[in-house]
């Protein structure tokens, strides 16, 4: 018997070395080398990720174009994130914390596609077929076109694909699958890499839309070589707070659409339910007439969402005051506080300040600045703002309120939800006429915005 060789592979980039090293020579990351058994690559080249075709290069103008064919699922939020639907032959990676609902989402998607008369094969390496059936009972996901198999051996999975000939394939999860030709444990860098490469070839050659479920590491990245994300067409993350019932599906890479869109779901007794009007959800627990609370009109992709921002400003007992933010960049908060101190003369050095985006969503765009500033000012003065005001606008260092994009959509969303006034940058009013029935208060500086808010 040949001697078993040990080598080390980087979990970030897949670089292999014969000895353990603290720093990967490939990508320079620290503490990413893990022990692996020697890989035996088969002669037919399972390891090769290159799809061989006999085509010659052609001028780009001679290549047929036209819309990509897409399979629309009945889950509109999923279609939105994927850019319109599932593309046949694409490889999608879905990551997320354990228990967040990945298997639930994919079982529901499988059901939705199977009820459209597509053949779906759901391979579970983590749960038995009975467990999957029980879950399907609960979700009402029973269709004769949905095939389920509990298997982790790649060769058996291949046989199943040959016999079922699915249009849509789910592998739950990629870390449990192993290729018997590769002599390292399931979930190791080489196994995950080889298996993904294999599924990619199957997807491209047979035109099967394939979804791989990936575990995430403690830091929240998909476990396995970072390369995995380069190999697939789409990388989706399924996120959410464990204690909240809603879940966000976010694309971080998408070869067939934009990565701005998010899909919003709510986990209930009967599985995931789509949230088609997120603003209502995010405002549902809003207290009215209390200080520190404002509503911001923010954009999530191409969709406007109204979200409540809360601030709490209290006198500190420490020499350096605390600044804490959830759902908003910490540096952004520091900047807004600095502007309020310098331009508005608010004495915040002796105050702890907490800023929170209600509902656990993350707001990354600068348009939330104005609402954050008003919330902080409101808590500091202990003066509530009017409950039916909406704010948006970016704040500059001189205290000016700068224009933001898509003002019209934000205003319309505010009007739709019954808000009375919108306080927004005057420069964002160019090129469109505000709808009647909602008061637009255009401002140029933070000072003007505060006067309007507390006037
Ligand atoms: P699951 O899809 O198994 O998560 P993952 O595959 O990401 O590990 O989801 C499991 C959680 O979802 C579990 O805590 C129970 C909850 N859940 C519901 O609340 N309602 C449901 O209808 C289902 C199927 C699960
Ligand atoms: Mg699962």
Q: Name 91's bridge partners.
A: 210
* Same domain (yes/no): 134, 262: yes
- Position 31 in a domain: yes
Domain stops at, among 249, 276, 303: 276
Six-digit token string for 7: 């080598």
List CB contacts of 178: < 8 A, sequence separation 6 or more: 152, 153, 154, 185, 186, 191, 195
Instruction: Say how far apart CA 85 and CA 72 lie, in whole Å.
Output: 4
* Same domain (yes/no): 217, 97: yes
* Same domain (yes/no): 403, 421: yes
| pLDDT in the model for residue 298 | 94
Ligand 1 contact, 137 CB (< 6 A): no
Atom number, ligand 1, closest to the C-alpha of residue 107? 2
* Same domain (yes/no): 268, 346: no
Ligand nearest to the CA of 102: 1
List CB contacts of 393: < 8 A, sequence separation 6 or more: 367, 369, 370, 401, 402, 403, 404, 423, 424, 425, 428, 443, 449
pLDDT classification of 48: cutoffs 50, 70, 90 = very low
Judged against a pLDDT cut of 60, whether residue 446 lies above it is answered with: yes
153: left (phi over 0), alpha (psi -120 to 50) or beta: beta
* Same domain (yes/no): 186, 286: no
Residue range 352-407, pLDDT digits in tens: 999 999 877 888 899 999 999 999 999 999 999 999 999 999 999 999 999 999 99
- Position 341 in a domain: yes
Instruction: Say how far apart CA 9 and CA 86 lie, in whole Å.
Output: 33
Judged against a pLDDT cut of 70, whether residue 211 lies above it is answered with: yes
| pLDDT in the model for residue 16 | 84
Instruction: Say how far apart CA 435 and CA 111 lie, in whole Å.
Output: 42
Six-digit token string for 349: 């050095």
Ligand nearest to the CA of 171: 2
Judged against a pLDDT cut of 60, whether residue 312 lies above it is answered with: yes
* Same domain (yes/no): 214, 344: no
Judged against a pLDDT cut of 70, whether residue 47 lies above it is answered with: no
pTM for the full predicted model = 0.78
* Same domain (yes/no): 258, 304: no
Nearest to 190 by CA among 348, 39, 347, 354: 39
Ligand 1, from 99, 111, 173: best to mutate by most atoms within 8 Å of Cβ?
99
Atom number, ligand 1, closest to the C-alpha of residue 135? 24
- Position 204 in a domain: yes
pLDDT classification of 45: cutoffs 50, 70, 90 = very low
Residue range 60-96, pLDDT digits in tens: 888 877 667 888 888 999 998 998 899 999 999 999 8
Nearest to 263 by CA among 81, 34, 108: 81
Which range of residues forms the domain containing residue 30? 6-37
**CA–CA distances in Å: residue 436 to residues 296, 304, 390, 411, 415:** 20, 19, 16, 11, 9
Residue range 113-122, pLDDT digits in tens: 999 899 999 9
The number of distinct structural domains making up the chain is: 3
| CATH code of residue 229 | 3.40.50.300
**CA–CA distances in Å: residue 382 to residues 85, 292, 355, 378:** 48, 7, 15, 6
* Same domain (yes/no): 229, 315: no
188-200 mean pLDDT? 89
Cα 177 to ligand 2 centre (Å): 14
Beta strands in 160-276 (DSSP E): 168-172, 209-214, 234-239, 246-254, 262-268, 271-274
- For the chain, the straight-line distance linking the first and the last C-alpha, in angstroms and rounded, comes to 85
Instruction: Say how far apart CA 201 and CA 184 lie, in whole Å.
Output: 21
| pLDDT in the model for residue 412 | 92
| CATH code of residue 294 | 3.30.230.10
* Same domain (yes/no): 270, 285: no
- Position 247 in a domain: yes
What residues are neighbours of ligand 2 (ion), with CB under 5 Å?
103
* Same domain (yes/no): 334, 404: yes
- Torsion angle of the four alpha carbons 125, 126, 130, 132, in this order, in degrees rounded to the nearest 10: -90
Judged against a pLDDT cut of 90, whether residue 307 lies above it is answered with: yes
Domain stops at, among 259, 276, 293: 276
Ligand 1 contact, 135 CB (< 6 A): yes
* Same domain (yes/no): 296, 175: no
Ligand 1, from 96, 101, 172, 175: best to mutate by most atoms within 8 Å of Cβ?
101
């Amino acid at each position: 018997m040949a001697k078993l060789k040990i080598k080390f592979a980087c979990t970030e980039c897949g670089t292999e070395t014969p000895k353990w090293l603290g720093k990967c020579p490939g990508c320079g990351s620290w503490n990413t080398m893990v022990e692996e058994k020697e890989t035996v690559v088969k002669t037919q080249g399972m390891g090769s990720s290159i799809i061989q075709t006999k085509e010659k290069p052609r001028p780009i103008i001679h290549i047929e174009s036209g819309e990509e064919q897409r399979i629309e699922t009945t889950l509109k939020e999923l279609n939105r994130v994927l850019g319109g639907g599932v593309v046949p032959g694409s490889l999608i990676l879905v990551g997320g914390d354990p228990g967040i609902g990945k298997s639930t989402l994919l079982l529901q998607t499988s059901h939705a596609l199977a009820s459209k008369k597509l053949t779906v094969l759901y391979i579970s390496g983590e749960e038995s077929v009975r467990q999957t059936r029980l879950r399907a009972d609960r979700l009402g996901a029973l269709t004769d076109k949905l095939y389920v198999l509990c298997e982790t051996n790649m060769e058996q999975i291949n046989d199943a694909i040959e016999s079922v000939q699915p249009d849509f394939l789910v592998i739950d999860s990629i870390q449990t699958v192993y290729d018997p030709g590769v002599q390292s444990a399931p979930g190791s860098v080489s196994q995950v890499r080889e298996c993904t490469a294999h599924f990619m070839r199957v997807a491209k050659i047979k035109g099967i839309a394939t979804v791989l479920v990936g575990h995430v590491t403690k830091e929240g990245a998909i476990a396995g070589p970072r390369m995995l994300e380069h190999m697939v067409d789409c990388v989706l993350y399924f996120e959410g707070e464990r204690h909240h019932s809603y879940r966000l599906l976010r694309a971080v890479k998408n070869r067939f659409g934009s990565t701005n869109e998010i899909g919003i779901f709510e986990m209930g007794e009967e599985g995931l339910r789509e949230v088609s009007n997120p603003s209502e959800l995010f405002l549902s627990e809003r207290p009215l007439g209390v200080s520190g609370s404002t509503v911001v009109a923010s954009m999530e992709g191409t969709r406007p969402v109204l979200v409540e921002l809360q601030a709490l400003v209290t006198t500190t007992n420490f020499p350096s005051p605390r600044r804490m933010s959830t759902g908003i960049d910490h540096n952004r908060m520091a900047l807004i506080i600095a502007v309020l101190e310098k331009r508005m003369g608010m004495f915040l050095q002796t105050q702890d300040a907490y800023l929170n985006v209600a509902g656990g969503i993350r707001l990354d765009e600068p348009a939330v600045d104005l609402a954050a500033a008003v919330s902080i000012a409101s808590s500091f003065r202990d003066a509530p703002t009017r409950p039916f005001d909406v704010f948006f606008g970016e704040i500059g260092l001189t205290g000016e309120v700068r224009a933001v994009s898509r003002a019209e959509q934000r205003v319309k969303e505010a009007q739709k939800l019954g808000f009375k006034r919108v306080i927004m940058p005057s420069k964002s009013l160019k090129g469109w006429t505000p709808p009647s029935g909602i008061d637009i208060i255009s401002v140029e500086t933070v000072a003007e915005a505060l006067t309007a808010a507390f006037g």
